[in-house]
Amino acid sequence: MHLYRSALLRFADDGTALYEEDGLLATAPDDRGVQRVHAAGAWRALAPLYFSQASQPVTHWPGRIIAPGFVDMHVHYPQLDVIGSPAEGLLPWLENYTFPHESRFADAGYAAGVAGFFLDELQRNGVTTALTFATSHPGSVDALMAQAHARRLRLIAGKVLQDRHSPDGVRDATEQSLIDTEALIQRWHGKGRLGYAITPRFAPTSTPQQLSGAGALAARYPDVWVQSHVAENQQEICWARELFPGTRSYLDVYARVGLLRERAVYAHCIHFDDEDRAAMRESGAVAAVCPTSNLFLGSGQFDFAGADRMGFGYGLASDVGGGTSFSPFHTMLAAYYVGREGQTKTGLSLAPQRLWWLHTAGAARALGLDGVVGNLEPGCEADFVVLNPAATPLLARRTAGAAHLDELLFAMIVLGDDRLIERTVIA
Ligand code: GUN
Ligand code: ZN
């Protein structure tokens, strides 16, 4: 049993933030040795239960806030060194920077070096669960999974499928790519806290045969995740329509091969109509919203109001290296900016509790990991961050002056970065 005393942030089922200024978090190991939340709440109410029999040592963090570890719903671990590569848009960015860089992951030693840096960077930024692309090289998955397993992280990843319209060095072979995917599922899915995601890069770089094969695997392994990109950029959409004539929309390409289902996570989902939104809702597929990437690549922006009106699930993501930061604070702030804009198009103001939820418990729910990660309710795996709201002079000044919880959360979203994350604790 571990007992922690500090301020404590967690979420109710409806997404409302629950905050204790003087809180207690108790964790205990399950039969696999994973620390789980035993109790969370007000120190005054809970402490007597833990001190009635024997005195327990307590880790006391005065002036700090314990909060759920962040969940990044879409990131590319091999694109660490692609961050900040300017291009006119998505397709030239892929061709000129991303594909040449990803070809280096044929070298397992290179992949292992990047994987270690990537996991350190997640942890420094308080991200305790990520759904990440690897590259088309099966060894790039092994390199990441082996290190994530050693760190006991809850991480989901997959080998990219891309058997056409891709240069030598990243293009894979249809049949072998599906054999490799199945072998990786068997090697890694459910090992410790790891999960596997079937990962067609996006429809334009897969043949119809590869997409159908991916759909068949998705049916055979229903608890494995699916991840891809859709409706990010106008040029990309035109290209997808040319390549798949006779489909109703770009999203429909995935639907027809069985890739639209629960645990399917589509990055971007910007240029959707209501039929697409309804298809997302009815299938249980969800969107990974990537505001810094969409700003950087000039793709357009996710329609939060449209998603809420039609009722499909979504959460926040960095999309590094199209995205510009690993920091969940930067992603939440970008989501606030682009959701809010209301003078030239309809928008809505995303409240700070909502933004934070979309990057923790809400993102976990979208991934099908409700009650597992992203929150600190009893039974959750105890992945958490310790925030120092006085990490910089301005943060200290602004958070000290916060009159209520929304002000405190907003101050951290607007002013926060990796300095706010004093430590990251993995269950
Ligand atoms: N579409 C296909 N591949 C990619 C990628 O690597 N990043 C982004 N943002 N979009 C994509
Ligand atoms: Zn992406």
The phi, psi pair for 189, rounded to 5°, reads -70, 120
Supply the CATH number for residue 16's domain.
2.30.40.10
pLDDT score recorded for residue 307:
96
Contact call for residues 181 and 140 (beta carbons, < 8 A) = no
Q: Is the CB of 271 under 6 A from ligand 1?
A: no
pLDDT score recorded for residue 56:
79
Last-in-domain residue among 348, 366, 384: 366
- C-alpha–C-alpha distance, residues 311 and 329, integer Å: 25
pLDDT score recorded for residue 26:
97
- 266 Cα–ligand 2 center, Å: 9
180-194, 337-351, 397-411: segment of lowest average pLDDT: 337-351
Are 21 and 81 part of one and the same domain? no
Residue 207 predicted with pLDDT over 70:
yes
CA distance to 68, 243, 349, 406, 423, per residue, from 386 (Å): 9, 48, 27, 18, 5
Last-in-domain residue among 315, 346, 366: 366
Q: Is the CB of 199 under 6 A from ligand 1?
A: no
- 90 Cα–ligand 1 center, Å: 7
Domain range for 211 is: 70-366
- Three-class secondary structure of residue 421 per DSSP: strand
pLDDT tens digit sequence for 51-61: 876 677 899 99
Atom number of ligand 1 nearest to Cα 229: 1
Are 249 and 284 part of one and the same domain? yes
- 271 Cα–ligand 1 center, Å: 15
Tell which residue, 12, 11, 13, 7, has the closest CA to residue 25.
7
Q: Is the CB of 255 under 6 A from ligand 1?
A: no
Look up tokens 């922690």; give the residue. 4
Ligand nearest to the CA of 288: 2
pLDDT tens digit sequence for 398-411: 999 999 999 999 99
Partners of 200 in beta bridges: 161
pLDDT score recorded for residue 53:
61
Are 189 and 310 part of one and the same domain? yes
Look up tokens 């397992």; give the residue. 108
Are 62 and 74 part of one and the same domain? no
pLDDT score recorded for residue 348:
74
Q: Is the CB of 260 under 6 A from ligand 1?
A: no
Are 88 and 15 part of one and the same domain? no
- 127 Cα–ligand 2 center, Å: 17
Strands in 17-126 per DSSP E: 17-29, 35-42, 58-68, 70-76
- C-alpha–C-alpha distance, residues 50 and 3, integer Å: 9
Atom number of ligand 1 nearest to Cα 321: 7
pLDDT score recorded for residue 54:
64
Are 156 and 254 part of one and the same domain? yes
Are 182 and 91 part of one and the same domain? yes
57 or 178: which leads in pLDDT: 178
- 327 Cα–ligand 1 center, Å: 19
Are 114 and 199 part of one and the same domain? yes
Residue 240 predicted with pLDDT over 80:
yes
Largest Cα–Cα separation, the chain: 71
ipTM for this prediction: 0.99
Query: What token pair was written down for 64?
Result: 């700090």
Ligand nearest to the CA of 227: 2
Of 232, 296, 302, the one to substitute when testing ligand 1's pocket (max ligand atoms within 8 A of C-beta) is 232
pLDDT score recorded for residue 247:
97
Are 388 and 332 part of one and the same domain? no
Last-in-domain residue among 366, 389, 414: 366
The phi, psi pair for 108, rounded to 5°, reads -65, -35
pLDDT score recorded for residue 304:
94
CA 389 to chain centre: 24
pLDDT tens digit sequence for 212-239: 999 999 999 999 999 999 999 999 999 9
For 94-249, where are the alpha helices, taking DSSP H only? 99-102, 108-124, 138-150, 174-188, 208-220, 234-243
pLDDT tens digit sequence for 70-98: 999 999 999 999 999 999 999 999 999 99
Ligand nearest to the CA of 233: 1
Ligand 1, atom 9: closest residue by C-alpha = 322
pLDDT score recorded for residue 50:
87
Are 12 and 89 part of one and the same domain? no
- What residue type is 101 in one-letter code? H
Which residues surround the ion ligand 2 when the cut-off is CB under 5 Å? 267, 319
Mean pLDDT of 148-163: 98
Are 91 and 235 part of one and the same domain? yes
- 323 Cα–ligand 2 center, Å: 8
Are 118 and 260 part of one and the same domain? yes
Supply the CATH number for residue 349's domain.
3.20.20.140
Question: How many structural domains comprise the chain?
Answer: 2
pLDDT tens digit sequence for 266-324: 999 999 999 999 999 999 999 999 999 999 999 999 999 999 999 999 999 999 999 99
Query: What token pair was written down for 300?
Result: 């357009």
Query: What token pair was written down for 139?
Result: 């060894």
Of 77, 90, 268, 270, the one to substitute when testing ligand 1's pocket (max ligand atoms within 8 A of C-beta) is 90
pLDDT tens digit sequence for 107-146: 999 999 999 999 999 999 999 999 999 999 999 999 999 9
- C-alpha–C-alpha distance, residues 81 and 113, integer Å: 12
Q: Is the CB of 232 under 6 A from ligand 1?
A: yes
Query: What token pair was written down for 336?
Result: 């606030």
Atom number of ligand 1 nearest to Cα 236: 1
Helix%, strand%, coil% for the chain, nearest 5:
40, 25, 35
pLDDT score recorded for residue 55:
72
